[in-house]
Amino acid sequence: MVDLTRKYDVLVIGGGNAALCAAISARRSGAEVLVLEGAPKFYRGGNTRHTRNMRCAHDAATDILTGPYTEQEFFDDLLRVTDGQTDEELARHMIRESKDILDWIVKQGVRWQPSLGGTLSLGRTNSFFLGGGRAMLNALYLTAEQLGVQILYDAEVVDLEIDHGMFVSATLKQREAAVSVRASTMVAASGGFEANIEWLKQYWGAAADNFLIRGTPYNRGSILKMLLQKGVQQVGDPTQCHAVAIDARAPKFDGGIITRHDSVVFGIVVNNRALRFYDEGEDIWPKRYAIWGRLVAAQPDQIAYIIFDASSRNSFMPTLFPPIESGSITSLASQLDLDAEVLEKTVAEFNAAVKPGTFDHTILDDCRTEGLTPPKSHWARRIETPPYYAYPVRPGITFTYLGTRVNKQARMVMSDGKPAANMFAAGEIMAGNVLGKGYAAGIGMTIGSVFGRIAGREAAQNARN
């Protein structure tokens, strides 16, 4: 039984990768730590349950990484996907610290496996968790428990007492009662507000009703909202988020990574008017897959269709839902409730614009279109080999970028620009410091692990002082 009458050194609010890294780091620094996970034990871990890999800088190949990934290359990739909208000092600090995470996370019980195939092309840059995100989480929870970290599930925090930048206590909903939990320091690692549809609608309008939430339904942003209301400085654009195209047949919440489609580069994407709307071959997939959620969100009724043919059927990792199949473009249009004449014209114009080259989805190849708007810059091949296939897709929101501003010590910054006395943040709740927009595969786990480790260490030191 967790003793809620005592005062802890470090209170961690959240239960995913960032929270566990913070808890373990704080405990290894000598602190008495309590973790409050708002979800039931079975659903513990937030969005970490649905992850597969982490992007870390490293100077040489390893047993599971095929080559070096320098700090500068990592930073260049981050600049490219964010269009420069990142806190450079904080981003470079994170990237530098990520080099240690590869070994540190293994010491916490996590194991790596070689890169998955398909269209990921991440064998050099990203380390994959053996058994996926849930196995990674289980390892972290086991380590935390063995170290003596106290963990409470179904622990919804309904209020925070903060006095001029100093955390005093958290009010916890326990059955029908409210319990006050005291600690010398607090780490917020409770995610974004992506599961709060009403909050999303404040920025997206009615379109948000058509969004699907890839991860946990428990990330409703309540802790984030409390912190901002109580004087923590806001960072990030509330409309920016990690959003990918996921299968339109996926559940509203918690569909996970198996609903994501990596087939875009092998075909074309049309909206419900049967028209293309963006370059499907703009860049290597791990640097572009996270733009497709926002692209689909901007289309009529927030739906689109990935169209490809038999030549590409086995070129990418399969998803939970099978593609819709038909012997002709006309009959495929009928199944999708699209205008057959328009879709036939769209496909014909695309095919006529394709300039043949040497196809290679792992590089920026020379297969492109000419004279077509929008173009397909790479990996363009004619769609002409039946049967023809389609996936219906909607915006799949992973996490939002509105968050709390932090410094290099993961300490929250108050609205007056001064650092908080004893409050720290890690993971999605502060990801907007690094991700102003865009996304690169695996960087969410980097943010969580790096800043979680820092937050725990700094919180423990703060508690001692």
Is the model's pLDDT at 118 over the cut of 80? no
Q: What's the CA gap between 211 and 301, in Å, rounded?
A: 10
pLDDT digits (tens, 9 = 90+) for 389-434: 999 999 999 999 999 999 999 999 999 999 999 999 999 999 999 9
State the amino acid at position 34 in one-letter form. Answer: L
Instruction: Tell me the pLDDT tens digit for each residue of 40-77.
Output: 999 999 999 999 999 999 999 999 999 999 999 999 99
Reported pTM: 0.93
CA 461 from chain centre, in angstroms, equals 30
Question: In degrees, to the nearest 5, what angle opens at C-alpha 241 toward C-alphas 238 and 244?
Answer: 150
Parallel/antiparallel/unpaired status of strands 7-13 and 403-404: unpaired
Q: pLDDT tens across 215-270, in order?
A: 999 999 999 999 999 999 999 999 999 999 999 999 999 999 999 999 999 999 99
What gap in Å lies between CA 289 and CA 265, rounded to an integer?
9
Q: How many helices (H) and strands (E) does the chain have?
A: 10, 21
Residue 117 has pLDDT above 80, yes or no: no
- Which pLDDT score, from 0 to 100, does residue 286 have? 84
Q: Look-up: residue for tokens 């000598």?
A: 30
Helix (H, G, I), strand (E, B) or coil at 95: helix
Instruction: Kindly report, residue by residue over 346-381, the tens digit of the pLDDT.
Output: 999 999 999 989 999 889 999 999 999 999 999 999
Distance CA 92, CA 462 (A): 24
Buried b (16+ CB within 10 A) or exposed e, 289-328: bbbbbbbbbebeebbbbbbbbeebbebbeebebebbebee
Q: Which of 141, 144, 138, 178 is nearest to 161 (CA)?
A: 178
Locate 399 and state its tokens: 């996490």
In whole angstroms, what is the distance from residue 375 CA to residue 279 CA? 5
CA distances to 137, 146, 374 from 238, rounded to whole Å, are: 28, 38, 28
Q: CA 430, CA 118: separation in Å to the nearest integer?
A: 31
Residue 310 has pLDDT above 90, yes or no: yes
The percent of the chain in helix, strand and coil, each rounded to the nearest 5, is 35, 25, 40
**Which DSSP string do the residues of 358-414 spell out, in sequence order?**
---TTS--S-EESS-SS---SS-----SSSEEEEEEEEEEEEE--EE-B-TT-EEEB
* Upstream peptide bond of 374 is cis (omega within 30 degrees of 0): yes
Please report the pLDDT score of residue 176 as a whole number: 79
Answer whether 455's CB lies under 8 Å from 22's CB: yes
